[in-house]
Chain A
Amino acid sequence: MTSIGTGYDLSVSTYSPDGRVFQVEYAQKAVDNSGTAIGLRVKDGVVLAVEKIKHSRLLVPHSNQRILTAGKYIGIASAGWMSDTRHLVKRVREETRNYTDTYKTKAPAHIIAERLGMYVQAYTLYSSVRPFGVSTLLACMDAKKPQLYMIEPSGHYVGYRGCAVGKGKQIAKTEIEKLDLENMTVREAAKEAARIIYSAHDDTKDKLFELELSWVCEESDGLHVHVPQDVYDQSVQFAERSLDEDDDDNEMEDDEDL
C-alpha cells in the first residue's frame, strides 16, 4: 500500500490522476505509526483503551493522559498527533456547548460525530492548511444507548461496535472480532480491552508503555471517566496473566517439536 505520490502529493488540494489525495493518505500514516487505541461498545456502555507509549522512564505514571473528556459525557481517544487531538477536543467542547446553548438539550452522539467529521474534512480542502493527523474514537452515552464513532483524517466517520487504530490495529481488530460484544458488560469489556492492548503491544519496538483505560456507562452515571482503580488493577492483572499463558502455550509447542 506504500506508494509515493510524486508530484501530486505536494498539497491537499490536489488529486492524483487515479483519484487519490495523497496528503490525506500521508496523514493516515501518522495515525498508523502511533500507539494503539481501541474502543469497545457493549451492552451497558463504551470502553476506551490506549497503549500509552512512554518515551522516558522519568515520566510520572498516569501523567500525560491520552484519553480526554469533552462535555463530561463524551470520551475521546486517538491515535496520531496528540497536539492535533487536543485541538479537536477543544472543538468538540465548543460544538457541544454551542448545541446546548441553542437547543437546551444534550447533543446526541451522531450529531457530535457529524460536526467533528465536517470540521476534519474542512482541513482537506485548502492548500494553506494540513489535514489532522489523528483518527479519533468518540465514545458517548445517548439516553442510555452507548455509541462509538471513529473519525478519520479524511473526515469520514462511521459508527462501530468495536474498532482499533494505530500501530497494533491489525492484531487488535482480529482479537476484537472474536469477542461477543453484544452480551458483554463494561467490566468484562475493560478486562478484554486491557488484554488486547497488551497483546497488540510490540515489545521489540517500544519497551515502555502504560495502559490507559476509560469508560462511559450506566455505572459511571453516563459520565466519561477513567475506570476506578480496582477495575484498572484487575484489568491489568488479567492482561498480564493472559500474556503469560500465551507464553506458556508457546513453550509447550517447542517441547512437542522435540
Chain B
Amino acid sequence: MTQLKPGEVSLGTTIMAVQFNGGVVIGADSRTTTGSYIANRVTDKLTKVHDRIYCCRSGSAADTQAVADVVAYHLELYTAQHGEEPTVKVAASLFQQICYQNKNNLSAGIIVAGWDKVDGTSVYEIPLGGSIHKQNFALGGSGSVYIYGYCDKTFRPNMTKEECVEFVRSSVSLAMTRDGSSGGVIRLAVITEDNVERIFVPGNQLPPQYLG
C-alpha cells in the first residue's frame, strides 16, 4: 500500500452508499486536493461503470480513475460475451481483483453500488488492501471517520428512498464541516431498476447543523 506521491492529486473525500428497498443512494463531497490547494472544488466522485452500477472513489484521483476505466471496459465486454447485464457482484469482484493484485502500487478506497436483476440492490466496500465487504451501507474516505457514530445511530434497514437521501445528505454534510479534505458541494445519485437520478446540493444549501 503506497502513500500518495508528493504533489499527487488526492480525493480526500467523504463517500457513502446506502441500500433501500428497490434502490441504492450514493453520495460524495466534491473536493480534490494537491496538498492544501483545492485542485477541483466541484469534483464528481460518483463514477458510472455500467448502466445501473456506480462506484464512489476515494484515495488517489489517478489510481481510482484508471481502475474505474478498466472495470467499465470489462463490464462492457461482459455484456457482449454473456448477452446479459453484469451483476453488481461481478463489478465489485473486478474492482477487488485489480485492487488486491496491485495493492502495492495503488491508493484506492472504492465503494461499488447499484442494481441488477439477480440480486436487486447491493453495496460493496473495497478498502485500501483490496478486501471486499458486502454491506447494507458503506462509508469511505478521510471524512468518514467523523460520522461513524452518527451513521450507526441513524441508519435503519428498509428506509424509504426519501429517508435514505436525507440520511446520506446529512451525513456527508457533517463530515464535510469537520474534515479538511472534504468540502464543496454534495453530489448524490439514486440508482433504481428504472433509472439513475442525480441530485445536486450546493455548498450554501447544506442541511442545518451547529457550526460553532
A→B interface (CB under 8 Å) = 101-105, 108, 110-111, 114
Q: Is the CB of A108 within 8 A of B94?
A: no
Q: Is the CB of A104 within 8 A of B93?
A: yes
* Given contacts A111-B81, A111-B82, A105 and B97 within 8 Å (CB-CB): no
* Interface: B89 (CB within 8 A): yes
Q: Is the CB of B94 within 8 A of A102?
A: yes
Which residue in chain B gives the minimum CB-CB distance to A101? Answer: B97
* Interface: B90 (CB within 8 A): yes
B residues in contact with A104, CB < 8 Å: 89-90, 92-93
Q: Chain B contact residues: over half helix, strand or loop, or mixed?
A: helix
A residues in contact with B81, CB < 8 Å: 111, 114
A residues in contact with B90, CB < 8 Å: 103-105
Question: What distance in Å separates the Cβ of A110 from its nearest Cβ neighbour in chain B?
Answer: 8
The 8 A-B residue pairs with the shortest CB-CB distance in the complex, in nearest-first order: A104-B93, A103-B90, A103-B93, A104-B89, A102-B97, A105-B90, A105-B89, A102-B93
B→A interface (CB under 8 Å) = 78, 81-83, 87, 89-90, 92-94, 97
- What 11 new A-B contacts, CB under 8 Å, besides A101-B97, A103-B94, A105-B93? A102-B94, A102-B97, A103-B78, A104-B90, A104-B92, A104-B93, A105-B87, A105-B90, A110-B83, A111-B81, A111-B82
A residues in contact with B97, CB < 8 Å: 101-102
Q: Chain A contact residues: over half helix, strand or loop, or mixed?
A: helix
A residues in contact with B83, CB < 8 Å: 110
B residues in contact with A102, CB < 8 Å: 93-94, 97
Question: What distance in Å separates the Cβ of A149 from its nearest Cβ neighbour in chain B?
Answer: 15
Among A101, A103, A105, chain B packs the most CB atoms within 10 A around the CB of: A103
Among A101, A104, A114, chain B packs the most CB atoms within 10 A around the CB of: A104
Question: What distance in Å separates the Cβ of B139 from its nearest Cβ neighbour in chain A?
Answer: 23
Q: How far is the CA of A104 from the CA of B86 in the complex (A)?
A: 12
Which residue in chain A gives the minimum CB-CB distance to B81? Answer: A111
Q: Is the CB of A108 within 8 A of B82?
A: yes
A residues in contact with B87, CB < 8 Å: 105
Q: How far is the CA of A110 from the CA of B83 in the complex (A)?
A: 10
Q: How far is the CA of A111 from the CA of B82 in the complex (A)?
A: 7
Question: What distance in Å separates the Cβ of B172 from its nearest Cβ neighbour in chain A?
Answer: 29
Which residue in chain B gives the minimum CB-CB distance to A143? Answer: B118
Question: What distance in Å separates the Cβ of A145 from its nearest Cβ neighbour in chain B?
Answer: 13
Q: Can you identify 6 A-B contacts, CB atoms within 8 angstroms?
A: A102-B93, A102-B94, A102-B97, A103-B90, A104-B89, A114-B81
Question: What distance in Å separates the Cβ of A111 from its nearest Cβ neighbour in chain B?
Answer: 7
Q: How far is the CA of A108 from the CA of B81 in the complex (A)?
A: 11
Question: What distance in Å separates the Cβ of B70 from its nearest Cβ neighbour in chain A?
Answer: 12
Q: How far is the CA of A101 from the CA of B78 in the complex (A)?
A: 15
Q: How far is the CA of A111 from the CA of B87 in the complex (A)?
A: 16
B residues in contact with A101, CB < 8 Å: 97
Q: How far is the CA of A249 from the CA of B97 in the complex (A)?
A: 64
Q: How far is the CA of A111 from the CA of B83 in the complex (A)?
A: 10
Q: How far is the CA of A39 from the CA of B152 in the complex (A)?
A: 55
Which residue in chain B gives the minimum CB-CB distance to A100? Answer: B93
Among B78, B83, B89, B93, chain A packs the most CB atoms within 10 A around the CB of: B93
Question: What distance in Å separates the Cβ of A139 from its nearest Cβ neighbour in chain B?
Answer: 20
A residues in contact with B78, CB < 8 Å: 103
Q: How far is the CA of A102 from the CA of B75 in the complex (A)?
A: 12
